């Protein structure tokens, strides 16, 4: 069990310039490097995931895939925000609060996006179709995103970073949304139940809203396994 360690955050830019010293007021450089690695992996994966899922959503007119692709785009931006936060030379609470509020606000943007696309589908404005490519990317995301979320929760606990906690929440939401969207697409593909797709997307809204609220309050992930 990993407990919170309240270390002042070291600028990753300083770390890469070799100016990090082993002083008691800094957290270990390996943690900073790990943050860079995880956020870099997130940026690369989310770029691929967003392009493929949004393209598949457009072809299939799928609100669940559209919501998932929107989540991928939000997660991409959130990962960039968190990376900026740890590169920020200010290293102060202001950067942390700003990054946490931004990441939390993006979760609410995602919730609104998913709700809108799902309601449009339920009202019959969008006719959903099956998407084999969408199913493949959802299966991959369901495997990758929980791992990323776990790594970020551990780093949030080690750095007491609410911004990392919010980003971990968005990675977890992305994984849950992948599973729910996958269920909706599978039901639609096998039994031609078109309303299963938007209902699957709507099922995730309470989780998104809760995590967005916690992130905007600036609550770090203080206990991670």
Among 38-47, 107-116, 157-166, the range with the most confident prediction by mean pLDDT is 38-47
pLDDT at position 92? 56
**Look-up of token digits 């906690």:** 165
Calpha distance 156→165 (Å, rounded): 5
More confident residue, 220 or 23: 220
Calpha distance 164→35 (Å, rounded): 9
Residue 154 clears pLDDT 70, i.e. is over it: yes
The residue among 49, 37, 101, 112 whose CA lies nearest residue 75 is 49
* Angle made by CA atoms 65, 110, 123, in degrees to the nearest 5: 60
pLDDT at position 162? 79
**What region does 14 belong to: left with phi over 0, alpha with psi -120 to 50, or beta?**
alpha
Residues in the chain: 225
Calpha distance 75→86 (Å, rounded): 17
Q: What is the pTM of this model?
A: 0.71
Q: pLDDT tens across 68-114, in order? A: 887 788 788 888 888 887 765 455 566 667 777 887 787 788 788 77
Query: Exposure of 167 by Cβ count < 10 A (0-12 exposed, 13-18 middle, 19+ buried)?
Result: buried
**Backbone torsions φ then ψ of 207, nearest 5 degrees:** -65, -45
pLDDT at position 45? 95
């Amino acid at each position: 069990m990993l407990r919170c360690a309240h270390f002042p955050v070291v600028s990753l830019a300083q770390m890469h310039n070799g100016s990090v010293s082993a002083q008691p007021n800094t957290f270990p450089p390996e943690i900073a490097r790990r943050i860079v690695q995880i956020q870099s992996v997130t940026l690369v994966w989310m770029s691929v995931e967003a392009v493929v899922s949004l393209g598949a959503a457009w072809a299939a007119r799928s609100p669940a895939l559209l919501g998932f692709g929107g989540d991928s785009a939000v997660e991409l931006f959130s990962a960039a925000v968190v990376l900026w936060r740890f590169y920020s030379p200010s290293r102060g609470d202001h950067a942390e609060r700003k990054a946490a509020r931004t990441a939390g606000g993006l979760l609410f943007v995602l919730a609104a996006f998913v709700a809108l696309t799902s309601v449009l589908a339920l009202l019959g404005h969008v006719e959903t179709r099956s998407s084999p490519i969408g199913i493949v990317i959802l299966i991959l995301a369901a495997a990758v995103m929980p791992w990323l979320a776990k790594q970020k929760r551990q780093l949030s606990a080690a750095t007491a970073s609410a911004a990392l906690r919010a980003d971990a929440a968005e990675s977890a939401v992305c994984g849950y949304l992948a599973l729910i969207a996958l269920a909706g697409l599978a039901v639609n593909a096998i039994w031609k139940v078109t309303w299963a797709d938007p209902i699957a997307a709507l099922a995730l809204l309470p989780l998104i809203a809760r995590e967005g609220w916690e992130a905007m309050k600036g609550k770090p992930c203080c206990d991670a396994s």
